[in-house]
Amino acid sequence: MATSPQLDRVIGIMMAIRSKPPADIHEARAVLDQAFGEFKPAPDVTVFEIDAAGVPCQWITAPDVPQDRLIIYLHGGAYAACSPTTHQDLISRLSRASGAAALGVDYRLAPEDPFPAAVDDSVATYNWALGHGFEPSNIVLAGDSAGGGLVLSVLLAARDAGTPLPAAGVCFSPWVDLECSGESMAANDHLDDFIKYGGLSARAESYLGGADPENPLASALFADLRGLPPLLVHVGSTETLLDDSTRLAALAKKAGVDLTLKIWDDMVHVWQVFASILPEGQQSIEETGTFIREKLG
């Protein structure tokens, strides 16, 4: 299927972000904050700060959605950048499409707070929701890139702790192998205008802070996935991270986990962030909304 002409504009935005290598992590964060901050949620969306067991979060909710159904959203940014604010438009569109409230988690970032800080904050937020009247069957975990990896980290940690699991998990372009060993890292390097091996492996090293990259809570590709709830994974065919998704799907199948994988032709890393200007971004969100509605009954 032919991609929309708006994709060229999105690729231009991504190339502009990459064109000036930042001096340090603070500059890198500022560049991404500015680029993604252009995409604001609709005026009818409710956004306010909330403290979830000491973890700062944002309640980001479309109008007239049931407040007893919840998406806990874990943003991407290679564990080093971005926040619920950079992802407000994406999260609000997911809330609208799924008919559920949404909570964006402002987990701690590396290198200041390396692994497992992000996992601990994400798990704490899930446990907070369970302790505040949300039934596990009415919760879906969702995230993109590093946040997609965190979705699986929370599911694995909850399963191993004997905590009731949520209804489902959603991963957009998940990063689940901190060894960055997928064949697509090289095969798609000339196609992916945003994620490159060098930058990603440096972020992995910074996040791990000396921890083993094969720790299942850091890289779900090295985990036993048995017992996890249904998963939905959307990834672009041109991404260097494509093989993280295809290998995750194979691992899930082997473990008897119901994982639905959709590979989108020519889509860039986390194209859903650009839903306000890219039709395929909104289409992915609508399909995800349908999946969430089905899993929340």
Q: Has 27 been annotated as catalytic?
A: no
Q: In angstroms, how far apart are the furthest CA atoms of the chain?
A: 48
Q: Catalytic: 181?
A: no
Residue with tokens 């940014």: 77
Is residue 147 within 8 A of residue 76, CB to CB? The reply is yes
Cis bond before residue 111 (omega within 30° of 0): yes
Spatial CA neighbour of 139 closest among 52, 71, 91 = 71
Token pair 């395929």 in the structure block, residue: 280
Given the structure tokens 């060993």, which residue do they identify?
A: 181
Instruction: Choose, from 75, 98, 239, 245, the residue flagged as catalytic.
Output: 239
Question: Could you say which of 145, 173, 184, 284 is catalytic?
Answer: 145
Catalytic residue among 75, 87, 234, 269: 269
Q: Which amino acid is at 250?
A: A
Query: In one letter, which amino acid is 88?
Result: Q
Q: Does residue 145 carry a catalytic annotation?
A: yes
Neighbours of 6 (CB within 10 A): 14
Cα separation, 100 vs 71, whole angstroms? 7
Catalytic residues: 145, 239, 269
